[in-house]
Amino acid sequence: MRTPNLIRLVYRNILVNTDPGSLVILIGLPALYLVFFGFGFQAVASAGGAGNSYLTYLTPGIMSFQVVMAGTVGGSMLWADRRWGMLSQLLMGPFTRLQYLFGIMLTSILFGLGGAAVMLGVAYALLGTIPVQPLALGIIFGSITAGSIFFGGLMLYISALVKSNTAYNSIQILLLFVVNFASTVFYPLSSSLPIVLRVLFQVNPLTYVADAVRGAYSGTLTAMDVYQMLVLLAEMAAILFVATRAYMRSDVSYE
């Protein structure tokens, strides 16, 4: 039986993007956040969450953080394939533009889910317990998937528009910083925050992912989390539409 094109593209994306150096950064960096921030801020933070432990609070946040990392993987893949001629080569081969796009999206989801699973493993090693129920795992799975598609789409959109390596990297760094730190990944939304930051927190899709994952992780899922998930799904569909449009209209190479 012939393997579907989409699966072959995803396999190729994983093969060419999983050199040891990239993997260390992709998985190692969030794990370091978990270790350094989890223990480092324990002394100063008495944030909410199970057992009042900052590490317990941070674990679902860092799992959610993986969706942003997954998004950057997707955007970088498109950027590199365009820059190094592989996009045009693949599109002169047996693949369609949409298959290529979905191949990248699926790879991003796999990176997001894989990264979240690794973070769960790291948390287990640090905490000795993971209080996650099977139903909660389903919610976490869905949230990470939706978040990976959203950020994958966002980075694809940027990647389709930006032609300079420096510009792409600068935008990526800025976006990573704002999205991560203006979300509930590291700390809860507080009324003491300036109004601009509060709005930023509330419109940030990563906040929705982090709240849903945290709610499922600690068994404190609220109606607000469900509402946020619905908003996230709508945003995911919108960004996917916009990114697909931009990508379909973009040049396949930089010639």
Binding region for other proteins (CB under 8 A): 2-3, 8-9, 11-12, 15-16, 19, 80, 84-86, 88-96, 252-253, 255
How far apart, in Å, do the first and last CA atoms of the chain sit? 38
To the nearest whole angstrom, how small is the minimum distance from the Cβ of residue 166 to other proteins?
19
Closer residue to other proteins, CB minimum distance, 1 or 195: 1
Closer residue to other proteins, CB minimum distance, 57 or 111: 111
To the nearest whole angstrom, how small is the minimum distance from the Cβ of residue 169 to other proteins?
16
To the nearest whole angstrom, how small is the minimum distance from the Cβ of residue 252 to other proteins?
7
Structure tokens at 9: 């593209």
Q: Where are the alpha helices (DSSP H) in the chain?
A: 5-17, 20-23, 29-40, 54-83, 86-91, 97-127, 134-161, 165-181, 195-203, 205-218, 223-249
To the nearest whole angstrom, how small is the minimum distance from the Cβ of residue 67 to other proteins?
24
Closer residue to other proteins, CB minimum distance, 81 or 211: 81
Cα atoms in the 13 Å half-sphere on the side-chain side of 100 = 23
The residues, any chain, with a CB within 8 Å of residue 123's CB and separated by 6 or more, are 34, 55, 59, 62, 130
With tokens 């979240």, the residue in question is: 116
Give the Cα-Cα-Cα angle 140, 241, 205 (nearest 5 degrees): 35
Closer residue to other proteins, CB minimum distance, 18 or 129: 18
Structure tokens at 205: 């899709």
Secondary structure of 71-83 in the HEC alphabet? Answer: HHHHHHHHHHHHH
To the nearest whole angstrom, how small is the minimum distance from the Cβ of residue 5 to other proteins?
9
Closer residue to other proteins, CB minimum distance, 2 or 249: 2
